[in-house]
Structure 1
Amino acid sequence: MFEGKTTGAQDAARNLLGTFMVGAGIGHWTFARKGFKAQVPSWVPLDKDSTVLASGVVEVGLGLGMLLLKGENRVRLGFGLATFFVAIFPGNWAQYKHDRPDLNLDTEQKRLMRLFFQPVLIGLALWSTGAWKVLRKNP
Structure 2
Amino acid sequence: CFAEAATPAYKSYAKQVIKNAQCLANELTKKGYRIVSGGTDNHCFLVDLTPKKITGLEAQEKLESIGITVNKNLLPFDEQSSTVTSGIRLGTAAVTSRGYKEKDMKQIATWIDQALTTEEKLLIGILKREIETYIKTY
TM-score by length of 2: 0.32
> Greater helix share, 1 or 2?
1
Which protein has greater RCO, CA pairs closer than 8 Å, 6+ apart?
1
TM-score by length of 1: 0.32
